[in-house]
Structure 1
Amino acid sequence: MSTPPPVPAPQNLRWLYLHGFASGPDSTKGVAVAKHYEAQGIHVERLNLRVPSMEQLRLSAMLDTVREAIGGAEDRAVLFGSSLGGLTAARVAEQDPRVCALVLLAPAFRVVDQLHRRMGDAAWKHWQTSGFIETDDFAEKRKVRIHSDFIPDAEAVDARTGGWPDVRVPTLIIHGSTDDTCNIEYSRQWARGRRHVRLVEVKDGHELTASLPRITAESDDFLRAWGTSPRSA
């Protein structure tokens, strides 16, 4: 796939990193990506998507936060998104023409289906009936209770365009073949037949921490038209 030249002028281009579920702006991948591009003179803003709060997390609020962070009508953005942040990036891109490229790391496509599959029927029903589910908050190193209203809100967002983001901009996906949180089959299915999407499979799990050098190298090559430095031969 050939990457087309970017539309915006460089001074109008913003680089944003979107963290995943129960994570935060200081995640290992987010910090590593920002540090890598800082060395190239590119500022990557790591957004806080724990909105409106971790306990009351809403995918719709995450979308609003990203759209606001892009800036004004003349601004453009390259979005990096990890897990739920990857789904968020794709959903923003399908509706906001200011987004010109995506790098998705183990994106949580069809997030409600994936959560249900991972939790099992009993835990899923308990979440819906009790109103809360307790999970690990990796950013603050504590337990957190997330309200069940996350489910209908995410279902409403993810029901658009048949449950799959209708993304038309150049997209790079990097996904681990042993990911037991966000099944790689969802990325394979979404990428299939989309000529503007490049799927890179790595031997890694959901966190992708062992694949950080591969992530930055593939991103450099993919985003060369937007100002990155290609990896050395």
Structure 2
Amino acid sequence: MNAPPLSPPGPRWLYLHGFASGPASTKGVWLDAHWAKQGIHLERLNLRVPSMERLGLSAMLDTVRDALGPPQDNARAVLIGSSLGGLVAARSAERDARVGALVLLAPAFHFVEQLQRRMGAEAWAHWERTGFLETDDHAEKRRTRVHHGIVEEAQAMDARLGVWPDVRVPTLIVHGRRDDTCDVRYSREWAQGKRHVRLVEVDDGHELTASLETIAREADAFLTPWRGGEPTRQVFTAG
């Protein structure tokens, strides 16, 4: 008697933290514990690459690609990205067909524009002139500095690919209406008219720490097809 065929493995779930954060971020740890109760392993990637001082978008995208494994494995993945990690998740889905669904938490769309607005003209000019930005490192609880190269790389990527990631897979966005870091209007604009995107607005700020239960509830419902096996990748065309 022939043995029954093996069931395909379920998709990998990857968590992408935000700028100046790390794998042990509050949301990442909380969601890890939440999904562990359902038998789902959430891999919390380290996007402080190649280092905190020399952060690079391409290095972050390469980290996601490497986590997915060799292309011939044809592994599927669900990406959960917070802030800058949300932008990296969207860019990853744009270029890698193995990404089947996204959950974006206050995604940093228009990253350079929002960062420039938040810093102000004087601080922005100082960063360009000196090459380094002094900022808080939320993961290591200290002051650190970040090279201006991440801005130059983001600008080049926007010029080459367009400022809006071209994502065609089911996407859930949870964004706070009181977010003063990543303005919710960019999520509204990106989601408008996309039948594969669900935008949930909450009465919260950028960290979304008061909305963890809402995030879990919405994500559980949205990701139901990915919680029990290996679904066919849904791709939505423009129009």
Fold-level similarity (TM above 0.5):
yes
2:145 corresponds to which residue? 145
Deviation at residue 208 of structure 1 after TM alignment? 0.1
Q: Could you tell me how far apart the structure 2 residues matched to 1:10 and 1:116 are?
A: 45
- Using the alignment, how far apart are the partners of 1:109 and 1:206 within structure 2? 13
Report the count of equivalent residues: 220
What's the C-alpha RMSD, in Å, of the aligned pairs?
Answer: 1.1
Question: Does residue 1:40 correspond to 2:16, yes or no?
Answer: no
Query: CA contact under 8 A between 1:105 and 1:174: conserved in structure 2?
Result: yes
Q: CA deviation at 1:12?
A: 4.9
SS at match of 1:163: coil
Q: Compute the TM-score of the two structures, normalised by the length of structure 2.
A: 0.90
Q: Distance in 1 between matches of 2:109 and 2:149?
A: 19
Identity between Structure 1 and Structure 2 (%): 67
1:102–1:171 Cα contact (<8 Å) kept: yes
Taking the aligned partners of 1:10 and 1:129, their CA distance within structure 2 comes to 53
Contact 2:17 2:25 in 1 (8 A): yes
Residue of structure 2 in register with 1:57 after alignment: 55
Is there any run of 5+ residues in structure 2 with no aligned partner, and where? Answer: 1-6, 229-239
Q: Does the CA-based 8 Å contact 2:10-2:226 persist in structure 1?
A: no
Task: State how far apart, in whole Å, the 1-side matches of 2:30 and 2:223 are.
Answer: 17
Q: Can you list the C-alpha shifts for 1:122-153, whole angstroms capped at 9, x where unaligned? A: 11010000110100000000000111111111
Question: What residue identity is the alignment partner of 2:211?
Answer: S
Aligned partner letter, 2:146: I
Partner letter of residue 105 of structure 1?
L
Residue in structure 2 matched with residue 227 of structure 1 by the alignment? 227
Q: Work out the CA distance in 2 between the residues paired with 1:175 and 1:77.
A: 22
Rounded Cα–Cα distance in structure 2 between residues aligned with 1:10 and 1:41: 16
Q: Is the 8 A contact 2:106 2:173 kept in 1?
A: yes
User: Which residue in 2 is equivalent to 1:172?
Assistant: 172
Shift in CA distance, 172/10, structure 1 to aligned 2, threshold 3 Å: farther
Give the secondary structure class of the aligned counterpart of 1:146: strand
Q: For 1:129-144, what aligned pairs fall within 5 Å after superposition?
A: 129-144=129-144
Task: Map 1:100-115 onto structure 2 (within 5 A).
Answer: 100-115=100-115
Three-state SS of the structure 2 residue aligned to 1:117 is: helix
Larger Rg: 2
Q: Is the 8 A contact 1:60 1:154 kept in 2?
A: no
Q: Could you tell me which of 66, 78, 82 is aligned with 1:68?
A: 66
Q: Distance in 1 between matches of 2:76 and 2:97?
A: 8
Give the partner amino acid of 1:64.
Answer: D
Q: Deviations over 1:176-223 (max 9, x none)?
A: 000000000000000001110000000000000000000000000000
Q: Which runs of 4+ in 1 moved over 4 A?
A: none
SS at 2:207 equivalent: coil
Q: Which residue of 1 aligns with 2:19?
A: 21
